[in-house]
Amino acid sequence: MGLTGGIAIYKSASLLRRLVADEGADVTVVMTAAAQRFMTPLIFETFSGKPVVTEMFNREKVFTRHIDLGRDADLVLVCPATANIVAKAAHGIADDMLSTVILTAGAKTLFALAMNDAMYSNPVTQANIRKLKELGYGFIEPESGELACRDVGKGRLAAEAVILDTVRRRLSESARMVGKRVLVTAGPTREYLDTVRFISNRSSGKMGFALAEAARRLGAEVTLVSGPSGMMPPPDVTLIPVETADQMLKVLLEQAGGTDYLLMAAAVEDIRPKNVYSKKLKKTEFPETIAIGRTPDLLTEFRRQNARTCIVAFSVESEDGWRRSEAKCRAKGADYIFWNNPAEPGRAFEGDTNGGVLIAAGGKSWEMPLTSKQALARQIIDLVLNHGVQH
């Protein structure tokens, strides 16, 4: 629970008591310097039964505490959340313990907004809120009424019952995939001609990494099998790096037995040179033509090993995309396939956004408008969980 320097902080004491006494929550309180000007840590230590964290380096465990708090928490509730802390989070500023915890926790953070109505309606604040919402951060909107400055407007901290209900829902959602094993593929594969040259594609891996993060936040045990991407894996996700389609297939088959969900976002290269040279070819050594063959169909091979796993495939098609993608879904034994059209702006490879259509094996489909890949990942997983396995 993060406390910032807003007059509504006095309401947070009662909220903390309810969380601990009535809900049985294990709460660690982090207070900013400004928050301590409004209330002392003592009352929050009394209600939480734990020391309040106020400084980055004032206790015995200093080296990774700022990481551990955000990583280990199921939820980071910032209440009250001022315009200042929202701005810090939106721009990645981590200059005290709370802002650092928020940066580590990412979309596990829930902001209960409380500020003057002019601050709330300011276009800069609204832009910061929109940015964080697109990244998956949660918000409890303020209520309208008389404010501390005696102005009347939107900015009052939401009622305690509203905050408690939102916290309950967020925590229950975070447990939707507890006990499930999720296998995610990401990035491109490389099919080598010689030791330095290869055939590949423009995949960045961002969609697969977003899916892995979304599944982990829902409580799943996640293994991410990624081709070359240069991206860091999300916290608590096991990364298995590969390069070629054969290497990715080997890992998939090794993992097939215990996998509940396979989210196949990797752009597996379809073709590869038939002849692979064990050294870097000189210009004069290049053949006039390069014979190519097909790489294995990873989804088909996986399905032969495991008939029960729920498979979500991905399809990049620019012509007759819905029909072609639905046919792929059936032919490969997938339960769902997400079709995106690379000819449409902001979709498919390399970018931070995507949109398209999620198609179920039975033909039902859902339009998914252009949004951030993080938000899209959550939408895809939510739909799959709500709609169920198709085979």
Residue 315 to residue 356: CA distance in whole angstroms: 10
Shared-domain flag, residues 34 and 146: yes
Residue 221 to residue 284: CA distance in whole angstroms: 50
Shared-domain flag, residues 56 and 169: yes
Shared-domain flag, residues 133 and 149: yes
Shared-domain flag, residues 129 and 206: no
Tell me the mean pLDDT in the region 216-237: 90
Shared-domain flag, residues 266 and 326: yes
Handedness of CA 345, 231, 300, 312 (dihedral sign): negative
Those residues with Cβ within 8 angstroms of residue 100's Cβ, 6 or more apart along the chain or in another chain: 56, 66, 70, 94
Domains held by the chain: number: 2
Hey, which residues does 53 pair with through a beta bridge? Answer: 30
Q: Which two tokens stand for residue 256?
A: 């097939």
Instruction: Examine the fold and report which residue of 173, 191, 216 is the final residue of a domain before the chain moves on.
Output: 173
Catalytically active residues are 149
Shared-domain flag, residues 39 and 160: yes
Shared-domain flag, residues 111 and 201: no
Q: What is the pLDDT of residue 37?
A: 96
162 confidence band (pLDDT: 50, 70, 90): very high
Residue 349 to residue 339: CA distance in whole angstroms: 13
Q: What is the pLDDT of residue 100?
A: 94
Residue 342 to residue 369: CA distance in whole angstroms: 14
Instruction: Judge whether 110 and 167 are in contact, CB under 8 Å.
Output: yes
Instruction: Judge whether 181 and 259 are in contact, CB under 8 Å.
Output: yes
Shared-domain flag, residues 192 and 156: no
Shared-domain flag, residues 58 and 142: yes
Shared-domain flag, residues 14 and 83: yes
Q: How does DSSP classify residue 286?
A: -
- What count of Cα atoms within 13 Å lies in the side-chain half-sphere of residue 161? 0
Shared-domain flag, residues 224 and 138: no
Shared-domain flag, residues 263 and 370: yes
Better pLDDT: 144 or 307? 307
45 confidence band (pLDDT: 50, 70, 90): very high
Instruction: Examine the fold and report which residue of 155, 173, 191 is the final residue of a domain before the chain moves on.
Output: 173
Better pLDDT: 145 or 1? 1
Query: Residue 367 belongs to a domain with what CATH number?
Result: 3.40.50.10300
Tell me the mean pLDDT in the region 128-141: 90
Instruction: Examine the fold and report which residue of 138, 173, 208 is the final residue of a domain before the chain moves on.
Output: 173
- The one-letter amino acid code at 244 reads T
172 confidence band (pLDDT: 50, 70, 90): confident
Better pLDDT: 354 or 346? 354
Give the model confidence (pLDDT) of 10-36 as tens digits. 999 999 999 998 888 999 999 999 999
- The one-letter amino acid code at 178 reads V
Q: Report the number of secondary-structure helices (H) and strands (E) in the chain.
A: 14, 19
Secondary structure class of 282 (helix, strand, coil): coil
Report the candidate in 326, 316, 190, 338 with the shortest Cα–Cα distance to residue 262. Answer: 338
The rounded percent of the chain whose pLDDT value lies above 90 is 73
Residue with tokens 């398209």: 356
Those residues with Cβ within 8 angstroms of residue 46's Cβ, 6 or more apart along the chain or in another chain: none
60 confidence band (pLDDT: 50, 70, 90): low
Mean pLDDT of the chain: 91
Hey, which residues does 190 pair with through a beta bridge? Answer: none
Query: Residue 13 belongs to a domain with what CATH number?
Result: 3.40.50.1950
Residue 335 pLDDT > 80, yes or no? yes
Q: What is the pTM of this model?
A: 0.73
By mean pLDDT, which of 57-71, 259-273, 310-324, 355-369 is the weakest?
57-71
Question: Domain span at residue 109?
Answer: 2-173
